Amino acid sequence: MLQGRNILVVGMGRSGVSAARYALDQGARVTVTDGRADAPRIEGAQHTYGAHNRADFLGADLIVLSPGVPASAPNVRAAIDSGVAVVSELGFAAERVQDRGIPILAITGTNGKSSVTWYTSQLLEAAGRRVFVGGNFGTPLTDLLRSDQSADIAVVEVSSYQLERPGGLSPLAAVCLNLAPDHLARHGTLQNYAEHKLRIFEGMTAEGQAAIPSAVENNPDGLLSHGNTQAKRMWLDRHPGVVRDGNTVHLNGTKDDGPVDLSGLTLLGEHNRDNAAAAILLAVAAGLTRAQLDLRTLTALPHRLEPVHSEHGVTWVNDSKATNIDAALVGIGGIEGSKIVLLGGAGKAGSDYKRLRPALAHNTRKIICFGDAGRTIADAIAGNTVERVSTLSDAVAAASKAAEPEDIILLSPACASFDEFSNFEERGRAFASLAKEATP
């Protein structure tokens, strides 16, 4: 029960706003705090904006953290040390969604989690389920609590930030797709990053299914494990679990074991067949039979190997969501024909762009580097096919000039977008617009 309790919501992004409004709906006394002086105002709440007040933290009965706020922040740490309950917005919502009898399918991993979330929701909806899809993926889970629409199941993408304080999150089924260096500025080491990811399994019951990969490319040094979860231990690349062999997925240890044919998929890239396999495992864990799976319904998410324009025999593909090296490797490897690759943006700490060389050596006619990290990337992959320019617009113009019929021009940046754009979505939309204006 939240009525009459002192709730502090820290961070007024989309998830914080949703949590604050829900707590107010439930009769709580709500204080909201944000380092920004111009953060969104929440009617009925007390506001501490522009700076934080430790008294707000120590005086709360419950603190709800937005993903951008680390649990290691001094005020948050002081509250935890004083015995104040602290939970992420997703954990806050998950406990209440589960109390309503709505099961949760949870997806995490460094790369591919948005796509697997999207594919899983599409499979369930095609089979007639009423699905909420969100979490780290677009819509805060707390929005489900405030919605008039009911759902049979919630499919949620979960980030490592949200898993710092997962609360009572207890998915019906959960997967950690892979692990690669990312967010190390916050987590410090790859091992710490892995440990945060694996908190997705901690609250699961014996009725649940928890799946991880075993292959070293997705599970370096075996850092991903099932831990002490009570859930059934499954695998994404061996049995019990799911194994993909070309265009066939084999399920074992599930409620409906046997093969699933992927030949009808229209998604680009081998990695998307692996993503579809993970989505199939989750959908079957949620109660679908293999006969109910309609793989023809699966469509790509915007900004993830998304064809956005085709003219004069040249196809432009937007993979702006590839904000780190491993995601870019997947995108580059997913395009088999002759290609021109656009790399650049805001670099991330610890990025070793030399790792891109082998993938770029295959069917890549030209590489164009742009943005703040453009020079660093160009130096790391130095060669006669590399050109460096200043902006994404310049990169599109250079690609258009160099393009030949049958070429694919791929934006798979291997970088964040914050040097030139507010997020990867804005960058992807700009690329699509520029592509349509270009004249190869």
- To the query of whether residue 436 is one of the catalytic residues in this protein, the response is no
Q: What does the pLDDT average to over 323-331?
A: 92
Query: Is the predicted pLDDT of residue 148 greater than 90, yes or no?
Result: no
Active site residue 113: yes
Q: Is the distance from CB of 193 to CB of 185 less than 8 angstroms?
A: no
CB–CB of 161/108 below 8 Å? no
Q: Residues 3-59: pLDDT tens digits?
A: 999 999 999 999 999 999 999 999 999 999 999 999 999 999 999 999 999 999 999
Residue 192 catalytic? no
290-309: burial string, b at 16+ Cβ within 10 Å, e else: bebbebeebebebbbbbebb
**With bands split at pLDDT 50, 70 and 90, how would you rate the model's confidence at 274?**
very high
Q: What percent of the chain has pLDDT over 90?
A: 87
Q: What is the pLDDT of residue 300?
A: 85
Q: Residue 339's pLDDT is what?
A: 97
Say yes or no to pLDDT of 259 above 60: yes
Write down the catalytic residue from 52, 75, 111, 136. 136
Indicate where the chain has its CATH 3.90.190.20 domain(s).
306-437
Residue extent(s) of CATH 3.40.50.720 domains in the chain: 6-83
pLDDT digits (tens, 9 = 90+) for 346-386: 998 889 999 999 999 989 999 999 999 999 999 999 887 99
pLDDT level of residue 268 (50, 70, 90 thresholds): confident
Q: What is the pLDDT of residue 440?
A: 57
Q: Under CATH, what is the fold of the domain 6-83?
A: Rossmann fold (3.40.50)
Instruction: Spell out the residues 6+ positions from residue 275 whose beta carbon is closer than 8 angstroms to its own.
Output: 112, 115, 116, 119, 177, 267
Range list for CATH 3.40.1190.10 in the chain: 91-297
Distance of CA 436 to the CA centre of its chain: 28
CA separation for the pair 339, 94 (Å, rounded): 43
- Residue 195 confidence (pLDDT) above 70: yes
Residue-wise pLDDT for 294-309, tens only, equals 999 998 888 989 989 9
Phi and psi based region of residue 127 (left: phi greater than 0; alpha: psi -120 to 50; beta: remaining): alpha
Single pTM value for the model: 0.83
User: How large is the average pLDDT for residues 277-288?
Assistant: 98
- Give the pLDDT confidence of 382-408 residue by residue, as tens digits: 887 999 999 999 999 999 999 999 999
Distance from C-alpha of 431 to C-alpha of 350, rounded to nearest angstrom: 26
The yes-or-no verdict on residue 77 having pLDDT over 90 is: yes
For residue 259, list its beta bridge partners. 250
CATH 3.40.50.1820, domain 306-437, yes or no = no
Give the model's pLDDT for residue 432.
97
Q: Which of 47, 183, 239, 250 is catalytic?
A: 183
Q: What would the two tokens of residue 192 be? A: 């710490």
Q: How confident is the model at residue 439 (pLDDT cuts 50, 70, 90)?
A: low
pLDDT mean across residues, the chain: 95
Check whether 96 has a pLDDT greater than 70. Answer: yes
CATH domain 91-297 topology: UDP-N-acetylmuramoyl-L-alanine:D-glutamate ligase (3.40.1190)
Assess whether pLDDT exceeds 90 at residue 181: no
Mean pLDDT value across residues 252-260: 97
* Residue 318 confidence (pLDDT): 96
Decide: residue 186, CB within 10 A, 0-12 exposed, 13-18 middle, 19+ buried.
Answer: middle
Catalytic residue from among 52, 113, 339, 348:
113
